[in-house]
């Protein structure tokens, strides 16, 4: 644990990429192999499940520190992190420990089957054997909120430096449903069995936002374009007589979308499609809200299958006949995709996302303007001679999204943030006018600068009308422009409206509260864009 805590501290104390890569590479070279494997798992989102409630941890920490619980609770927002607050209030340890990261994670996982007294005894014993820096890391692991400020790409780069294995090969090996229980460091990194995990997806290629228009990209003839669909990015894998569907976040979604089992009937073995899962009916996409009803379900009732059937709108072919073709130009992969899907019945739940014809950037801009009516968010641009890369690399894939929808709204509630924002009010509830009343319709917590968050925080503290736990009702004085990507009807909200990706795009110092938008304005937008 000492070595891992030192790594955590080194990463936390720098923002320089080279310094982080160096620290990680040294760790991956020198640490015990089981610890290296668990570190890779932690940095790729494979964290141990939470085995103790945060309520219990707060109570036990206050008891061990000899302070009243209210004082601990007052300290928590000041520190801004529960794991760090616990580590700081505890008395110095009376024992020492040289146990490894793997050992401690084993203890944490074992708590899942222990009763409450046994859990408490184990946690108190751990706190008493670890110094502050190691307690902090231990607490992070307990709470399940482990973050190290390291992207998977940066971790993969450091691992390549430490092991000599090519970064693209490592990126692929780290995908899929492996866990430290199912493999070893050497098997995962140095001697992977290509048949061991036939469900393994490829690393996703991610696009950059194009803010200034496509004129900077050169000759339009070098580029292909298609609509940017508003669904769930996924890879459909047909290997070994089975099919698998993976999300971009490495969530295995196969059971949630049983329609795509048709891959077994229509796609040849050794095929991997990259595309967008969309709720689809009458040859058009349904709003994302229809798809959202299916996201959290392991099984889908027949009624929902009928209301929101899905398709995979495929826009790339990554594996063809069992051969990885990601290094081939996009134009070649696209031609192979179209040939593969050409003979499939029209009612099959996958199809090639249509390419958009254009010969000038102005012509593409005119097509882009129709995207919202087509159920899309804008257009994607892909260089015809580009390979399929992994991660977010600038130059070959661009997303040219539509300008967001906007509404002017009044801030009526405020709540403090978390982590480094725990001392600031950053989470706000906004309302629009309905007659003489302000009706809440959305929450937003991003879009302002740090200086603006500090300014609004000072104002909230002076203008609080009521407190409801962590929430403060404030004087309705400030208007904010709220930007959002979509709007739909909602029975869960008092306003009857729900927004997609709301954020604060501007603080309207120039606009009095009386000139904020109305619920009727939102309803008109719903009729137009919902």
Is residue 228 flagged as an active site residue?
yes
| Residue-level length of the chain | 530
**CB of 488 closer than 8 Å to CB of 287:** yes
* Farthest CA pair distance, the chain: 74
Q: How far is CA 296 from CA 288, 293, 337, in A?
A: 14, 7, 30
* 211 CB-near residues (< 8 Å, 6+ apart): none
User: Are the C-beta atoms of residues 308 and 279 closer than 8 Å to each other?
Assistant: yes
Q: Which helix (H) or strand (E) holds 438?
A: strand 437-444
Looking only at the bridges linking them, the beta strands covering 350-352 and 310-320 are: parallel
**Contact indicator for 157, 170 with CB cutoff of 8 Å:** no
Strands 271-281 and 232-239: antiparallel
Cα dihedral across residues 376, 379, 380, 384: positive or negative: positive
Cβ(45)–Cβ(175) below 8 Å: no
Catalytic residue among 20, 120, 140, 228: 228
Residue 304, SS3? helix
Structure tokens of 44? Answer: 């790729």
Q: Are strands 425-434 and 397-401 parallel, antiparallel or unpaired?
A: unpaired
State the pairing for strand pair 208-209/397-401.
parallel
Residues with Cβ within 8 Å of 96's Cβ and at least 6 positions away in sequence, in order, are 129
Give the H/E segment covering residue 39: helix 33-43
Instruction: Compute the radius of gyration of the chain from its Cα atoms.
Output: 26
- DSSP states of 241-263: TEEEEEETT--B-GGG-GGGGGH
Q: Which residues contact 148 (CB under 8 A, 6 or more apart)?
A: 8, 11, 12, 42, 43
- The sign of the torsion formed by the CA atoms of 349, 350, 351, 354 equals positive
**Which residues are catalytic, by number?**
228
């Amino acid at each position: 644990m000492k070595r891992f805590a030192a790594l955590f501290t080194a990463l936390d104390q720098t923002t320089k990429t080279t310094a982080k890569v160096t620290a990680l590479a040294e760790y991956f070279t020198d640490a015990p192999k089981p610890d290296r494997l668990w570190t890779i798992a932690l940095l790729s989102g494979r964290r141990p499940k939470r085995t103790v409630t945060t309520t219990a941890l707060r109570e036990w920490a206050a008891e061990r520190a000899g302070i009243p619980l209210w004082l601990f609770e007052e300290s928590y927002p000041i520190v801004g992190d529960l794991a760090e607050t616990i580590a700081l209030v505890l008395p110095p340890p009376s024992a020492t420990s040289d146990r490894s990261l793997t050992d401690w994670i084993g203890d944490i996982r074992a708590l899942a089957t222990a009763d409450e007294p046994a859990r408490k005894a184990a946690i108190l014993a751990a706190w008493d054997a670890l110094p502050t820096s190691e307690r902090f890391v231990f607490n992070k692991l307990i709470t399940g909120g482990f973050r190290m400020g390291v992207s998977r790409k940066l971790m993969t780069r450091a691992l390549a430096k430490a092991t000599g294995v090519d970064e693209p090969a490592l990126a692929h090996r780290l995908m899929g449903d492996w866990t430290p229980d199912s493999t070893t460091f050497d098997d995962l990194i140095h001697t992977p069995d290509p048949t061991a995990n036939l469900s393994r997806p490829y690393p996703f290629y991610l696009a950059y936002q194009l803010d200034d228009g496509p004129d900077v990209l050169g000759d339009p003839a070098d580029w292909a374009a298609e609509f940017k669909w508003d669904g769930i990015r996924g890879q459909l894998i047909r290997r070994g007589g089975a099919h698998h569907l993976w999300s971009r976040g490495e969530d295995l979604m196969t059971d949630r979308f049983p329609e795509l089992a048709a891959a077994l009937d229509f796609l040849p073995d050794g095929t991997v499609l990259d595309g967008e899962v969309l709720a689809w009916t009458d040859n058009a996409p349904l709003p994302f809200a229809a798809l959202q009803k299916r996201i959290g379900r392991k099984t889908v009732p027949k009624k929902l299958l009928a209301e929101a059937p899905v398709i995979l709108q495929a826009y790339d072919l990554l594996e063809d006949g069992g051969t990885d073709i990601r290094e081939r130009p996009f134009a070649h992969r696209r031609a192979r995709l179209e040939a593969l899907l050409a003979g499939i019945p029209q009612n099959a739940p996958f199809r090639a996302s249509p390419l958009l014809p254009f010969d000038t950037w102005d012509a593409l801009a005119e097509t882009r303007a129709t995207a919202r009516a087509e159920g899309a968010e804008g257009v994607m641009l892909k260089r015809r001679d580009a390979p399929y890369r992994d991660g977010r690399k600038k130059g070959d894939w661009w997303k040219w999204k539509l300008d967001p929808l906007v509404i002017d709204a009044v801030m009526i509630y405020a709540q403090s943030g978390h982590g480094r924002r725990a001392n600031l009010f950053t989470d706000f509830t906004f309302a629009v006018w309905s007659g003489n009343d302000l009706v809440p319709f959305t929450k937003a917590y991003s879009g302002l600068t740090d200086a603006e968050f500090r300014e609004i925080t000072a104002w909230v503290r002076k203008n609080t009308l009521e407190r409801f736990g962590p929430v403060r009702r404030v004087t309705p004085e400030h208007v904010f422009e709220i930007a959002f990507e979509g709007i739909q009807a909602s029975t869960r909200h008092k306003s009857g409206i729900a927004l997609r990706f709301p954020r604060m795009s501007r603080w309207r110092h120039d606009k009095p509260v009386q000139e904020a938008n109305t619920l009727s304005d939102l309803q008109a937008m719903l009729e137009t864009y919902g």
